Amino acid sequence: MKIAALLDPFAQAEGAPPSGLLAFMRWALKGSFPVLLAAGMLSAFVGLLEVVSALLLGRIIDSALDSGPDTFFSDHGWMLLGALVFFVVLRPIAFGLSSAANTIAVQPNVMPLVQARLHRWTLGQSVTFFDNDFAGRIAQKQMQTARAVTDVVAEVINVVFFALASLIGAALMLTAIDWRVAMALSIWLVGYVAIISFFMPRVRVRSKARAGARTMVSGQIVDTITNIKTVKLFAHAGREDRAALDAMATYRERFIEFGTLSSVFRTVLMTLAGILPVLLIGGTLLLWSNGIASAGDIAAAGTISIRIAQMTGWVSFTLMTIYANIGEVEDGARTLARPHDLTDGPDADTLDVVRGEVRFDEVSFTYGRGSGGIDGITLRLAPGEKVGLVGASGAGKSTLVALLLRLHDTESGAVRIDDADLRDVTQESLRRQIGMVSQETEMFNRSARDNLLYGRPDASEKEMIEAARRAEAHEFILDLKDFQGRTGYDAHLGERGVRLSGGQRQRIALARAILKDAPILVLDEATSALDSEVEAQIQVALERVMEGKTVLAIAHRLSTISRMDRIVVLDQGRIAEEGTHAELLAHGGLYARYWNLQSGGFLNIPEAAE
């Protein structure tokens, strides 16, 4: 529908999301305000029509009393016809247009607009951001905040514009009857605003606390379900149940606190609402008894006072919803509107690898702790050179790889590819030039085809299957079948590839890297989950894949890197030894010690594992 196209639901946001409420709302809704204002004006027009309804009713009653039953229809038939057109044609059309503006143009577009902007911003966060929080909590915050912003916008249009127009129109109508009746309404409004001003900030605070407790429940449950195999293997279902119940109990307490305040607020407000008809109808009756007001004025004042009294309960409930949602928006903004701690420079270039040289120049990184990590490492990988990394747990191997992928920025020194400082190039262009196969392979709950093509989305079916064959994955992929009956490359792999064995996941990850065909290749225990027979087959494929590429490989099983051009041994964040396999064995240092232990039957020793 054309009305639905008035807003672009996926328009890009400008800049970073601010943390302040109003600034955050402006950021989230920027570009939509003309449509929102138009929808608000339609709602206000509908609110004014409610006052016109009361005024029209009063005029009909006065005309009937003046004409009497014998001549009313002949003298004022036009008035009845006008009322018919108003109530049957104009008023329904106005309500329909107002409803369409809100439910077709606004709500279906604002929700994805806000969520898309939050999701894009969250995707730009560093890995540390996700490491420090529950995945389920972050996802819940995105959904919660987008929904809350949408609800605030919809209710402001539906209720606030409508109610303000109704109240202003009512005040003007009552002024036409007598200024003293309008003054009674004004005094009542002062009390109404005072009550709203007292309760709403408190509703907002308790709503924020309730929202935070709710997302903690989601985070706790998602964390348990994500690690359900570990829960069962360690027989900790009871422990996880208690953790979830503790989170639920906290949420229950926050909900009760919110509900108690809400009940008191609505009771006080409805008491005030009951006073309004007494004031307006009683005041107009008093004026009528003194010959100042007409019977029609009594009917109009009565109609509008009852309408406002009814509207008071509706508005109070909606205002609570608005303020509750504002609390949720603030809670979401506190989590999601954090500035990116790893950004591209304003003049960042696109990295285009020509030679594939990698250099670490006096690089130090300690995760901000001042110790640990790596310290003053200088290392050069010549174009096309294959270098293996060996070291004890915590020696700095994974840190070195993380800096090459620019998952962190160096604290001192620089990492360079073809003389380009990684801080001067865009992160995406950098990572497009690096293929990665890690020990902990990540799989999407999508088809095997989608997971393979993640390496190169524009690859042909033939290229994809060839990559799977080279990684020894084609045969088992053909045997896949998911719970919906999809088979082969169309079968879905389950969350994090749960339907696959560790070796199968690693072979798909390897095929993905083969398909990507990047000039620099990082292998982090790329064959650790494979049995010896398959590993031997993969090793041949790996050697073909590594041809012409600069390779940095971490290995615990030293036999997998013994044929590398050079092996670098890390110890406590520094380079302890480097050379070929034969040179390091002859040297008789750390590498020789690791090799002798593994050769003696120790395949996974603490000193050589990370």
Residue 156 belongs to some domain of the structure: yes
Q: pLDDT-based confidence at 519, cuts 50/70/90?
A: very high
Percentage with pLDDT > 70 across the chain: 89
User: Are 513 and 525 contained in the same domain?
Assistant: no
In this prediction, residue 315 carries a pLDDT of 75
Domain extent for 122: 18-336
In this prediction, residue 550 carries a pLDDT of 93
Q: How many domains does the chain have?
A: 3
Stretch 505-519: mean pLDDT = 87
Of 74-78, 164-168, 259-263, 307-311, minimum mean pLDDT range = 74-78
Residue 294 belongs to some domain of the structure: yes
In this prediction, residue 74 carries a pLDDT of 66
For the stretch 582-602, pLDDT in tens is: 999 988 889 898 888 876 644
In this prediction, residue 609 carries a pLDDT of 36
Residues 6+ apart with CB under 8 A from 557: 527, 528, 598, 603
User: Are 410 and 488 contained in the same domain?
Assistant: no
Cross-strand partners of 481? 487
Q: Tell me the C-alpha distance between 338 and 118, whole Å.
A: 11
State yes or no: pLDDT of 371 exceeds 70.
no
What CATH number is associated with residue 298?
1.20.1560.10
Tracing tokens 């409610």 back to the chain, one arrives at: 50
Contact 326, 152 (CB under 8 A): yes
User: Are 508 and 527 contained in the same domain?
Assistant: no
Of 71-85, 96-110, 143-157, 223-237, minimum mean pLDDT range = 71-85
Residue 605 belongs to some domain of the structure: yes
Of 307, 336, 365, which one is at a domain's C-terminal end?
Answer: 336
Of 171-175, 393-397, 425-429, minimum mean pLDDT range = 171-175
Residues 6+ apart with CB under 8 A from 457: none
User: Are 196 and 253 contained in the same domain?
Assistant: yes
User: Are 72 and 193 contained in the same domain?
Assistant: yes
Q: Tell me the C-alpha distance between 521 and 384, whole Å.
A: 10
State yes or no: pLDDT of 87 exceeds 90.
no
Long-range pairs for 168-175 at CB < 8 Å and ≥24 separation? 169/47, 169/48, 169/50, 169/51, 169/52, 170/51, 170/54, 170/304, 170/308, 172/51, 173/51, 173/54, 173/55, 173/300, 173/304, 174/280, 174/301, 174/304
User: Are 226 and 303 contained in the same domain?
Assistant: yes
Token pair recorded at residue 582: 């034969």
Of 336, 369, 398, which one is at a domain's C-terminal end?
Answer: 336
Residue 12 belongs to some domain of the structure: no
In this prediction, residue 416 carries a pLDDT of 93
User: Are 96 and 177 contained in the same domain?
Assistant: yes
Gyration radius of the chain's alpha carbons: 35
Q: What is the mean pLDDT of the chain?
A: 82
In this prediction, residue 20 carries a pLDDT of 84
Which has the higher per-residue pLDDT, 581 or 231? 581
Which amino acid appears at position 160 of this protein? V
User: Running DSSP on this structure, what letter comes out for residue 447?
Assistant: B
User: Are 512 and 527 contained in the same domain?
Assistant: no
State yes or no: pLDDT of 262 exceeds 50.
yes
In this prediction, residue 66 carries a pLDDT of 65
Residue 8 belongs to some domain of the structure: no
Token pair recorded at residue 349: 């270039």
In this prediction, residue 605 carries a pLDDT of 38
Neighbours of 374 (CB within 10 A): 26
Q: pLDDT-based confidence at 346, cuts 50/70/90?
A: confident
For the stretch 42-67, pLDDT in tens is: 998 888 887 777 777 767 666 666 67
State yes or no: pLDDT of 570 exceeds 80.
yes
What CATH number is associated with residue 501?
3.40.50.300
Residue 123 belongs to some domain of the structure: yes
User: Are 398 and 490 contained in the same domain?
Assistant: no
| CA dist 153 → 24, 139, 231, 300, 444 (Å) | 13, 22, 42, 32, 35
State the sign of the Cα–Cα–Cα–Cα dihedral 364, 366, 367, 373. positive
Neighbours of 543 (CB within 10 A): 11
User: Running DSSP on this structure, what letter comes out for residue 88?
Assistant: I
Q: What pTM was estimated for this model as a whole?
A: 0.68
Residue 557 belongs to some domain of the structure: yes
Stretch 25-45: mean pLDDT = 90
Sheet strands side by side (includes 386-391): 434-437, 520-524, 550-554, 386-391, 566-571, 574-579
Residue 362 belongs to some domain of the structure: yes
User: Are 602 and 507 contained in the same domain?
Assistant: no
User: Are 296 and 367 contained in the same domain?
Assistant: no
User: Are 108 and 193 contained in the same domain?
Assistant: yes
Q: Tell me the C-alpha distance between 162 and 318, whole Å.
A: 12
DSSP labels for 217-236? HHHHHHHHHHTHHHHHHTT-
In this prediction, residue 52 carries a pLDDT of 75
Q: pLDDT-based confidence at 528, cuts 50/70/90?
A: low
State yes or no: pLDDT of 576 exceeds 80.
yes
* Residue 421: φ, ψ to 5°: -65, 130
Q: pLDDT-based confidence at 404, cuts 50/70/90?
A: very high
Stretch 211-220: mean pLDDT = 80
| CA dist 30 → 24, 102, 112, 279 (Å) | 10, 17, 13, 44
Q: Tell me the C-alpha distance between 171 and 190, whole Å.
A: 13
State yes or no: pLDDT of 604 exceeds 60.
no
Give how far the C-alpha of residue 264 lies from the chain's centroid of Cα atoms, to the nearest Å: 34
